């Protein structure tokens, strides 16, 4: 299980670095193997920063990040179990090399003792597992493949390791609708095999498609989290309701979302026993919109 406990990320700002900006503020949640956790929020809310901290690409300023109870230490052994797939698949490939070079790099780093024939069989099996025809994609240059094919090759690369957890950061945002569903169904298949997935997205409809649990982030702080059906079926925080109200519906006229200045949990004090969140119902936690320690920022 991957656990974030009051994880914080600060950046220095200003000409001489005298100021600071908190991109992620005391975020706490966990993600288990065999489930998908959806991390949802608008652009700039800190979603990708959390993903980068999990992957060891950005340092943690404060708080703890553990995998199966052990502090995360980015390195070869950690990346054997935790991998990431990002928004722009084209940026993950060197255009002067064929796309399947990503598999050769995995072999060189982790399995140099595996004979070439056996490795080729492993690669073909992994490619078929992500619903691609090895003959149609292996040996091609990145520009000869679609974004969906490149994304699935990156997932196949991860499957060649002893993977237990995958960070999927906006992996469908650059894909067309039909390919997007194919990639999401692939993530569902991986979940059934016991893989844990943190699915980072700003698209609420896609977030509810896969995830058993949802974390809603606003300006670096969690405002609501819990079982996906409870978070979206009975949203308690004004920001979550604002997100849901912003989703276009063909059969209803659009209306302005409600103000963030009201909060049903303000009267309760806002300070819960779970990272400053109130438990509104079993498995459903909500922050106060007005108290500083619980996520209020000016609307």
Q: Which is nearest to 232 in space by CA: 263, 203, 256? A: 203
Q: Where are the domains of the chain?
A: 2-211, 237-299
pLDDT at 277: 84
Please tell me the predicted confidence (pLDDT) of residue 237: 87
pLDDT at 289: 63
Instruction: Name, in order, each residue with C-beta under 8 angstroms of 99's C-beta and a sequence gap of 6 or more.
Output: 93, 137, 138, 140, 141, 142, 144, 145, 150, 153
CA–CA dist 284, 264 (Å, integer): 14
The residues facing 200 across adjacent strands are 39, 169
CATH code, 2-211: 3.40.50.300
CB distance 183 to 71 below 8 Å: no
Asked if pLDDT for residue 267 goes beyond 70, the answer is no
User: pLDDT by residue (tens digit) across 87-139?
Assistant: 888 888 989 999 889 999 999 999 999 999 999 999 999 999 888 999 999 99
pTM for the predicted model, two decimal places: 0.84
**What gap in Å lies between CA 202 and CA 200, rounded to an integer?**
7
Residue 249 confidence class, pLDDT cut points 50, 70, 90: low
Model confidence band, residue 8 (pLDDT cutoffs 50, 70, 90): very high
Q: Of 151-160, 212-221, 268-277, where does mean pLDDT reach its minimum?
A: 268-277
- Indicate if the pLDDT at residue 272 is higher than 60: no
Partners of 2 in beta bridges: 31, 67
| CA–centroid distance for 130 within its chain | 19
Tens of pLDDT, residue by residue over 25-58, are: 999 999 999 999 999 988 888 999 999 999 999 9
Say what the pLDDT of residue 299 is: 34
Nearest to 171 by CA among 161, 163, 181: 181
Q: Say yes or no to pLDDT of 264 above 90.
A: no
More confident residue, 271 or 82: 82
Smallest Cα–Cα separation from 151: which of 164, 177, 169?
Answer: 169
Short-list 95, 102, 221, CA closest to 154:
102
């Amino acid at each position: 299980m991957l656990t974030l406990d009051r994880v914080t990320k600060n950046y220095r700002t200003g000409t001489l670095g005298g100021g600071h900006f908190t991109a992620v503020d005391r975020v706490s949640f966990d993600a288990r193997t065999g489930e998908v956790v959806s991390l949802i929020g608008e652009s700039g809310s800190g979603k990708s920063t959390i993903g980068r901290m999990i992957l060891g690409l950005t340092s943690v300023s404060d708080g703890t990040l553990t995998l199966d109870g052990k502090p995360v230490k980015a390195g070869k052994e950690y990346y054997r179990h935790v991998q990431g797939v990002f928004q722009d698949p084209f940026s993950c490939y060197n255009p002067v090399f064929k796309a399947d070079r990503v598999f050769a790099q995995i072999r060189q780093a982790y399995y140099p003792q595996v004979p070439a024939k056996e490795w080729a069989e492993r690669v073909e099996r992994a490619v078929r597992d992500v619903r691609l025809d090895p003959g149609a994609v292996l040996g091609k240059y990145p520009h000869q493949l679609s974004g969906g094919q490149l994304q699935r090759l990156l997932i196949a690369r991860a499957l060649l390791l002893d993977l237990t957890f995958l960070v999927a950061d906006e992996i469908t945002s650059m894909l067309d609708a039909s390919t997007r569903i194919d990639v999401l169904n692939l993530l569902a298949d991986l979940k059934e095999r016991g893989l844990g997935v943190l699915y980072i997205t700003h698209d609420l409809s896609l977030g509810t498609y896969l995830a058993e649990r949802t974390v809603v982030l606003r300006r670096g702080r969690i405002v609501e989290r819990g079982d996906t059906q409870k978070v979206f079926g009975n949203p308690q925080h004004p920001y979550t309701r604002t997100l849901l109200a912003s989703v276009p519906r063909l059969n209803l006229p659009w209306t302005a979302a409600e103000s963030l200045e009201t909060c049903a949990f303000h009267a309760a004090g806002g300070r819960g026993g779970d990272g400053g969140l109130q438990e509104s119902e079993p498995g459903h936690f909500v922050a106060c919109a007005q108290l500083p320690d619980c996520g209020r920022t000016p609307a």
